[in-house]
Structure 1
């Protein structure tokens, strides 16, 4: 590493020993609770297994609901969601694990949700470059339910914690999810 390079910001995620669907996310001196997938943290992620994949994933892009508040303060790329925002989760489709515009005939997830989960959502570099069919899609860092119920495989935190973390991290930040 040269003098001009700084180490990447690392958000570390670990499951609780008493409940593998919940964990702690640590960034420097900040530690906050998080929700994890129903299957806990898995070493071998597969589409539909409801597991949070272990590994190191760059935080790539932040999406937000402009009708639910101000955009988060962040130095990451930021884009508003719209009612036609979707994400392809069909392993047979060429746009697997990519954003799509709705309506979309193949399997997909709506990004404009009725609940708060995607009011702020960060795309993680999980199975993205290249997207391997069946290895999991739509693995995000997003807003948790009020009771921290399990996700479908994502990492989720409270809205105020998401805003706090996004304001502090820099481009190139990574989420390290530990088994």
Structure 2
């Protein structure tokens, strides 16, 4: 797909056009993924890929996506099974396998010693920690990064200030199935996650923008 955003015939400016211009102005982004949830309580969504080129934002592709079991919200809570609405940078990719060819983002291959901490009482909250000891003695709660759903993945830059209980471990990863859901991440098919990882270029400051139509309009 290579159609320009907006309706050029009528020159109508849509909320999508305005969102894309916002991230280009504020984040200096030239690559954006817009995840539009079917409703605030739905786990089903559509991910649309946009890239800036030739003086315009161009729509590259659309794909099915799944989000948190209980939908999407601006009011995130740890363990709430919802995905965060908002605009977030993507700077890091990772996976249990070696980096696929063509990936430009920094990529780390995970091992059994890689954890993402969701213990709200820990100073490690919402951080990636490599630890060779017994994780149960160090944290009340954590997520292993060496699991099949994270064969290929990217970190969504949510709650980077690690505010306790505001949610953690938000990734873009392989889905458990097109009719399933995540615990708060955004997920697409393995074929599409590889395609997205190969497309994202850190020089173009890729972002992911998430929400229902109403939530996306609130970001303007």
Short-chain TM bin = 0.7 to 0.9
Answer yes or no: is 1:82 the counterpart of 2:114.
no
> Quick one: structure 1 residues 123 and 166, their matched pair in 2 at CA, closer, same or farther if it must change by over 3 Å?
same
Instruction: Decide which of 119, 131, 153 is 2:184's aligned counterpart.
Output: 153
**Where do residues 26-175 of structure 1 align in structure 2 (5 Å cutoff)?**
26-27=48-49, 28-66=59-97, 71=100, 73-102=102-131, 103-104=134-135, 105-106=138-139, 107-113=141-147, 116-128=148-160, 130-171=161-202, 172-175=205-208
Alignment coverage as a number of residue pairs: 171
Deviation of residue 164 (structure 1)? 1.0
> Residue 216 of structure 2 aligns with which residue?
none
Deviation of residue 72 (structure 1)? 5.3
Counterpart CA distance in 2 for 1:124 and 1:12 is 13
> Residue 21 of structure 2 aligns with which residue?
none
Deviation of residue 147 (structure 1)? 3.8
> Residue 20 of structure 1 aligns with which residue?
42
Deviation of residue 18 (structure 1)? 11
Counterpart CA distance in 1 for 2:177 and 2:43 is 14
Deviation of residue 121 (structure 1)? 1.5
Counterpart CA distance in 1 for 2:103 and 2:179 is 24
> Quick one: structure 1 residues 57 and 70, their matched pair in 2 at CA, closer, same or farther if it must change by over 3 Å?
closer
Unaligned runs of at least 5 residues, structure 2: 1-26, 50-58, 213-220
Which has more radius of gyration? 2
**CA contact 2:78–2:168 (8 Å) conserved in 1:** yes
In the TM superposition, what whole-angstrom CA distance separates every residue of 1:47-88 from its partner, at most 9, and x where no partner exists?
A: 11000010001112111112xx65353211111111111110
**CA contact 2:95–2:146 (8 Å) conserved in 1:** no
Question: Which structure carries more helix by proportion?
Answer: 2
State the SS of the aligned residue for 1:29.
strand
* Higher relative contact order (CA closer than 8 Å, sequence separation 6+): 1
**CA contact 2:155–2:172 (8 Å) conserved in 1:** yes
Deviation of residue 19 (structure 1)? 7.4
